[in-house]
Amino acid sequence: MSAGTEVNPPARDRRGAWRVLVGLLRRPRSAFGLIVIVAMVAAAVLAPWIMPYDPNDQMFDGLSLEGAPLPPSAKFWLGTDLLGRDLFSRLVLGTQTSLIIGVLANGIAVVLGATVGITAGYFGGWVGGILMRFTDLMMAFPALLLAIVLAAIFKPSLLIVALVIAMVNWVQMARVIYTETRSLAQRDFIEVQRAMGASTVRILGRHILPHLVYSIIVFGTLGISTTVLLEATLSYLGVGVQPPTPSWGNIIFENQTYFANAPWLVFFPGVAIVLLALSFNLLGDVLRDTLDPKLKGRH
């Protein structure tokens, strides 16, 4: 227990950040998550150099004589898809898609959720009331149906898919930040700041926000996992990322009719989705335990 030692979170403490990183690497779960995430980011950035083939090239020797996709082999490491394209190359390029949407959608959701949460929590009143009732309302929406409807309204592009996912995913963050801001706003040290005539902007920026940083990091990390899963699901249903741009979800969408004969076309993209989502979940879970003792799940 470190009761009473931490009043202000060391938000700008570089050594603190370093210590957190070392702590994460020491725990098997978060170390695994970090390694997978770093590897996937590397794959996404270095995609042009990693991909053995052009991911959109429908190769003549990418199909069997009967026109069936080829299983994994020395030539095509993860096999080929229904159109004779190299699955490994498409998966690598799909990593870009997943990460871009994951970071973009989740970034928007975090900013939106935190803004709603802080506004409602700090100012309260009728503005806060309306914002939180709206949040309740969004909580009651079947998220996937809502995302499907939104994606069907707007022609899906990467940006639109990211926006749609953000529209569905900000709610969780808003809830958490609202609760924390509310309890912070009633604490004595904020009262003192107000009495001393500090401006609202200063109170929010210097005294409220720093206390929320940990929660934002934790739920932001867990949120990427939700985002990755939602993108995959939308793309699988055909209303997410549109072919020929490869995404792990739409690779399965394009090939699922053939899965009984070519299971690798579902298995490998599926593993990629699970690995990425799992890594952010593991990382977020460990971060929650190490960064914020208040949120700590009992272990």
Partner 1 sequence: MWGYLIRRIGESLLILLGISLVTFILLYLVPADPARQIAGRSATAETVANIRAQLGLDQPFHIQYFRYLGNLLQGDLGRSYLQRTEVSELIAARMPATLLLMGAAIVAELIMGLTIGAVAALKRNSAVDQSLMVFSFVTISAPQFVVGILLLYVFAVQLGWFPIGGYGTFAHLVLPALTIGLLGTGWYSRMMRSSMIDVLAQDYVRTARAKGLGKLRIILRHVAPNAILPIIAMIGIDIGLFMSGIVVVESVFGWPGIGQLAWQAIQRVDIPIIMGVTLVSAFFIVLGNLLADLIAPLVDPRIKLK
Rounded to 5°, angle at Cα 104 from 108 and 128: 10
Applying CB under 8 A, which part among 43-51, 95-103, 194-202, 277-285 lies near partner 1? Answer: 277-285
Q: Indicate whether 36 belongs to the interface with partner 1 (CB under 8 A).
A: no
* In the block, residue with structure tokens 């700090």: 122
Contacting partner 1 (CB under 8 A), which of 20, 51, 213, 266? 266
Count of residues that bind partner 1 according to CB under 8 A: 45
Q: Indicate whether 136 belongs to the interface with partner 1 (CB under 8 A).
A: yes
CA distance 202 to 196: 12
Contacting partner 1 (CB under 8 A), which of 11, 42, 144, 192? 144
Contacting partner 1 (CB under 8 A), which of 35, 38, 145, 159? 145
In sequence order, the β-bridge partners of residue 80 are: 86
Q: Indicate whether 67 belongs to the interface with partner 1 (CB under 8 A).
A: no
CA distance 254 to 257: 8
Q: Indicate whether 1 belongs to the interface with partner 1 (CB under 8 A).
A: no
Contacting partner 1 (CB under 8 A), which of 38, 45, 152, 159? 152
Q: Which of 171, 147, 144 is nearest to 161 (CA)?
A: 147
Contacting partner 1 (CB under 8 A), which of 141, 159, 189, 206? 141
Do 11 and 214 touch, CB atoms closer than 8 A?
A: no
Based on CB atoms, which residue is closest to partner 1, 184 or 232?
A: 232
Please, what's the b/e burial string for 197-207 (b: 16 or more CB within 10 A of its CB; e: otherwise)? eeeeeebbeeb
Q: Is 143 exposed, middle or buried (0-12, 13-18, 19+ CB in 10 A)?
A: middle
Contacting partner 1 (CB under 8 A), which of 153, 179, 200, 293? 153
* In the block, residue with structure tokens 């503005």: 127
Q: Indicate whether 29 belongs to the interface with partner 1 (CB under 8 A).
A: yes
Based on CB atoms, which residue is closest to partner 1, 215 or 255?
A: 255
CA distance 117 to 90: 39
Q: Indicate whether 259 belongs to the interface with partner 1 (CB under 8 A).
A: yes
Strand, helix or coil for residue 10:
coil
Q: Indicate whether 258 belongs to the interface with partner 1 (CB under 8 A).
A: no
Q: Which two tokens stand for residue 74?
A: 């020395």
CA distance 213 to 288: 12
Do 60 and 84 touch, CB atoms closer than 8 A?
A: yes
Applying CB under 8 A, which part among 37-45, 46-54, 203-211, 262-270 lies near partner 1? Answer: 262-270
Residues 209-248 binding partner 1 (CB under 8 A) are 225, 229, 232-233, 236-237, 239
Q: Indicate whether 252 belongs to the interface with partner 1 (CB under 8 A).
A: yes
Q: Indicate whether 189 belongs to the interface with partner 1 (CB under 8 A).
A: no
CA distance 74 to 26: 36
Positive or negative: CA dihedral 276, 278, 283, 284: positive
Based on CB atoms, which residue is closest to partner 1, 212 or 285?
A: 285
Q: Rg of the Cα trace of the chain? A: 22
Q: Indicate whether 256 belongs to the interface with partner 1 (CB under 8 A).
A: yes
Q: Indicate whether 263 belongs to the interface with partner 1 (CB under 8 A).
A: yes
**Chain positions contacting partner 1, by CB under 8 A:** 29, 133-134, 136-137, 139-146, 148-150, 152-153, 225, 229, 232-233, 236-237, 239, 249, 252, 256, 259-260, 263, 266-267, 269-270, 273-274, 277-278, 281-282, 285, 297-299
